[in-house]
Structure 1
Amino acid sequence: MYIKMMLALFIAVAFFFSSPIEAALEVGFYRDKCPSAEAIIKEEVSKSFDQNKGIAPGLIRLHFHDCFVRGCDGSILIDSTPTNQAEIDGPPNGITIRGREVIDNAKARIEATCKGVVSCADILSYAARDSVVITGGLYWDVPAGRRDGRISRASETLDIPAPSFNLDQLTQSFANKGLTQDDMVALSGAHTIGRSHCTSFTNRLYNFSSTTMQDPKLSPIYAQFLKQQCPRDSQGNVNQDLVVFMNQTPYVFESSYYQNLFQHTGLFTSDQALLDRQETTREVALYAVNNLAWQRDFVQAMIKMSQIEVLTGNQGEIRANCRVINP
């Protein structure tokens, strides 16, 4: 009996110390520390959404791009300096990133109420959740307690999955962050809202391979529409400022994105690639006809993603200004 008890104790202790760091996050983390934090963030998201509905997909993408580089530590919010090019200016970000001003506004209000308490990383995670909800997605409780990172390098943004990735590359990219292929398929549905710069996909229209200019997986009718939206100039270049909507309902969070894939109207190579394997095609088919199933899986995948390599406890810092590392 004694041996069994000691063995059980050893297993319990081993499990405790082997638990991932995200276990330190908790729902209601600011309930006593800064009770108004979540309400302030929600108000700022709502205010910005009323002025520009594109801010919702922008904030979701901002959170995703943050978490895939050094974990969900708010490092994407840091400005570049003369001695350091930060993530915000990395190739996948630059002119395509939106929403930092929402985080700035929420942070300023929160600092006036609860100075040095709420991290920029947590504000971004709450703002992403609120952006999903305001466009018609399901609500979830955000585990919080993240700390802000002090390192932000543009060179590390190459870890962010590219729109040109095939299925194997996508799966591996997500696996590198502890996310499954199922998580990847569910999270890809975020492309149901928002817009894309033409330069993210025009290789599918004009320069797909050495044997064909146009991606054969792309609907010819859709390709013609995209060419009208993203024309080439006399030098064969596409204006980098031109954008198109990702979906026919760009501000409504619903699963028509998955229906589009069966029509070969996924905008990115990485979107259409979800039909390249039987196991992912089955998931796409389910989500295409069952919006609720997708939304539930999306929420679980978002909660999981939002805990990638988080800093907690005495790690990192609570930035006073989300764009600048504390002195």
Structure 2
Amino acid sequence: MRIVVTGGAGFIGSCFVRTVLAGEHPGLAGAEVVVLDAFTYAGRIENLDPVRDDPRLRVERGDVRDPRRVAEVVGDGGVDLVVHFAAETHVDRSITGAADFVTTNVVGTQVLLQAALDGGVGRFVHVSTDEVYGSIDSGSWPEEHPLEPNSPYSAAKAGSDLLARSYHRTHGLDVVVTRCSNNYGPHQFPEKVIPLFVTRLLDGGRVPLYGDGRNVRDWLHVTDHCRGVALAATKGRAGEVYNIGGGTELTNRELTTRLLAAVGAGEDRVEHVPDRKGHDRRYSVDWSKIRDELGYTPQVAFDEGLAGTVAWYREHRDWWEGLR
């Protein structure tokens, strides 16, 4: 089996590549992996260092918006599976400059889908986000919930989800969509809240808490996310959407308190800042479908995962110093 992983040098994509090559996903055992990555600010070759010498890995530099380059990697007729992680993902960046989010997330996805169709790819897994659903005051979103995105980032991802669906419905391409909750873990670029707060606290700085700190997120360890993606890739039904959740909902205030405790810092290190524009109040996905159909359950308890993540950033200053 040959798998093309777009964004395979990024935070989640590189974890997927490492775990596939380590044999952690039985349905993908022995697969050859081709990474396609543009190596923008968040894609780093160092994320693949543990597997760089594996003869089953090939790394290709290329932008998913480039039809010729994508066709060279995806459309050669020898690809069994595409797992599409590549995306612009940081909400704050999308608020100040939406153009790259639209072209990468929407146009790039269309380019990949067309190459997969032209090249006879066996399955296309489109990795998306719970943010496409909007905000929910209570309960949890099922996969059938209407898409109501509120940021340029989530709107672009919603557009890419619909394109993926259209290629299945119109052309019969075997497409599966996954929508995950907030990821955390090692190798995450320090613009997202957990690595941003951890690295600032380790450096003796202060951390910015938006608004009243009561925005709620469900936290999913990156290895659990990759396990869910692998299950969707190997066992999911064509044309279906699968939510992937972590099972730990926290307010941003509660998360901040845990991060302060993890590094031995006090409340004086918190700086209250004005809320973000269009800040969604709460995300929560119903992941019973992937549990019941594919056997997914999160394996990493949040306290364990958070402690391991903080330890990784403490021990890998050479990875993140100078990035913020």
TM (norm. structure 1) is 0.29
1 or 2 for the larger relative contact order (CA 8 Å, sep ≥6)? Answer: 1
More helix by share: 1
More strand by share: 2
| Greater Cα radius of gyration, structure 1 or 2 | 1
TM (norm. structure 2) is 0.29
